[in-house]
Amino acid sequence: MRGTLFIAALALLASAGAAGAQPGALVIVGGGLSRENAAIHEAFISRAGPDGRIAIVPAASAEPAASAQAFAETLARYGVAASRIDIVKLAVRDDEGTPVVDERTWAQGGADPTEIAKIERAGAIWMTGGDQARLTQTLYDAAGADTPMLAAMRRRLATGAVIGGTSAGAAVMSARMIAGGDSLTAMLAPVLRDGPAEEGALVLARGLGFLPDGIVDQHFGERARLGRLTRALSDPGLARRVGFGIDEDTALVVDLAAQTAAAIGAGSVTVVDATRALLVTRSGGFGADGVRLSLINDGDTVALSTLAVRVAPGKTRIAAGDERYDAPDRDGAGMAAPARSLEDTLGADLLDNSAARALERVSFRADGAGVIWRFAEDAASAAHYGGGRYGVQGVTFSIRPVRVNVRDAR
């Protein structure tokens, strides 16, 4: 009887401790994570605690065992003892590099008590890259309910653990997830939800919902995904029309207790605010008006509730009348024009350029279907410069579908 009472008392204490716990954090990496990127790795590792265990979930990968082992070796480079690392047996693809193990037998790991225990004791949980659909396939059951493993991940996050992921492991963080598509086709073709798509069309599916609201896109600047993310914000399943586009080798570190998010790493995080925008889909394509863009980079933070940006110390505000450039816009498109990043377009070409108050760019297909992008500054727009990078706040953005007629100039 005393033993039973003692166990019951321990359960009550554990319950009380969990009830008073602060939620943890998310380390959402846009893919292409360099092993040398100490800031991102240390942001993830430090949140596990000095002796906390780290669980690696490799389900998204086509080479689950190899990808998990590679990340374990990276953790070791940053001083994490092998005894602290657990590789979770959850996958749907066989890794040909491990002929003695068929990782397809890990498909039911989401209900395996041994594998769930690895999550339960982890202070940090990492999801590798690959295909985000494999993660949702293994972490939801056939009826669409949380597997015991996913329920354990939610409990750990709610009581202070950190969950991180790169590429596919980033895409699943939001409740609605981008599962495929390129920007131009996304703006010109119908959106497909939870089903097969025509080549390049935007596909939206159910994510894991660790991020309270909004939607995440990855490989953002490198794959020119602004149009794709903006189109995704028209999805009626979104609780809030806010998007976070994360460049490669860059992370958005979300503090769920403080409700803030910080950018760290080599690139930028683009915050797309369509909460007051007009998003319209017609037969000619997708249009948007009244979207606002901010770009944050290393050390900058954004408040999740208001999307207000706090610029990192040491960066210089670009004041009106003190712009570094005074050049009319002559940017073209196609093979003869140099690639221009969104950061440089909004920073150098617009806000740091006294000759421009607005810029337009055209993207189109060979059949003439296309869009005009328009970026403009107003009284609420601002830019900062530091560390060789531009940060941008409050640029207005619109998309207008057009038909382009190309004729021989002769």
Q: Which has the closest alpha carbon to 293: 267, 271, 261?
A: 271
Mean pLDDT of 2-26: 55
Residue 194's pLDDT band, with cuts at 50, 70 and 90, is: low
Residue with tokens 């869009």: 371
Give the C-alpha distances (Å, rounded to integers) separating 83 from 52, 61, 76: 10, 23, 10
Confidence of residue 359 (pLDDT cuts 50, 70, 90): very high
Handedness of CA 153, 154, 159, 164 (dihedral sign): positive
Which position has the higher pLDDT, 93 or 260? Answer: 260
CA 220, CA 50: separation in Å to the nearest integer? 33
Confidence of residue 279 (pLDDT cuts 50, 70, 90): very high
Could you tell me which residue, 332 or 343, shows the higher pLDDT? 343
369/155: higher pLDDT: 155
Stretch 54-62: mean pLDDT, rounded?
96
- Whether the predicted pLDDT of 339 surpasses 70: yes
| pLDDT tens column, 138-155 | 999 999 999 999 999 999
Domain-wise residue ranges, the chain: 23-267
Q: Which residue has the higher pLDDT, 153 or 409?
A: 153
Q: Active-site residue numbers?
A: 167, 219, 248
User: How would you write the chain as a 3-class SS string?
Assistant: CHHHHHHHHHHHHHHHHHHCCCCCEEEEECCCCCCCCHHHHHHHHHCCCCCCEEEEECCCCCCHHHHHHHHHHHHHHCCCCHHHEEECCCCCCCCCCCCCCCHHHHCCHHHCHHHHHHHHCEEEEEECCCCHHHHHHHHECCCCCECHHHHHHHHHHHCCCEEEEECHHHHCCCCEEEEECCHHHHHHCCCEECCCCCCCCCEEEECCCCCCCCEEECCCCCCCCHHHHHHHCCCCCCCCCEEEEECCCEEEEEECCCCEEEEEECCCEEEEECCCCEEEEECCEEEEEEEEEEEECCCCEEECCCCCEECCCCCEECCCCCCCECCCCCCCCCCCCCCCCHHHHHHHHHHCECCCCEEEEEEECCCCEEEEEEEECCCCCEEEEECCEEEEEEEEEEEEEEECCCCCCC
386 pLDDT above the threshold of 70: yes
Does residue 193 register a pLDDT over 80?
no
Range 329-350 average pLDDT = 86
If one compares 11 and 21, the residue with the highest pLDDT of the two is 21
Is the confidence at residue 198, as pLDDT, over 80? no
Mean pLDDT of 345-354: 96
Neighbours of 218 (CB within 10 A): 29
pLDDT reading at 361 higher than 70: yes
Average pLDDT over residues 256-260: 97
**The predicted structure's pLDDT at residue 284:** 74
Average of per-residue pLDDT values in the chain: 91
Say whether pLDDT at 6 is over 60: no
Please list, in sequence order, all residues whose beta carbon lies within 8 angstroms of the beta carbon of residue 5, skipping any fewer than 6 positions away: none
Question: What pLDDT, on a 0 to 100 scale, did the predictor assign at position 197?
Answer: 54
Higher-confidence residue of 282 and 226: namely 226
pLDDT at 8 over 80: no
Rounded average pLDDT over 48-59: 95
Range scoring the smallest mean pLDDT among 241-245, 278-282, 345-349? 278-282
What is the CATH architecture of 23-267? 3-Layer(aba) Sandwich (3.40)
* CA angle centred on 256, ends 250 and 261, rounded to 5°: 35
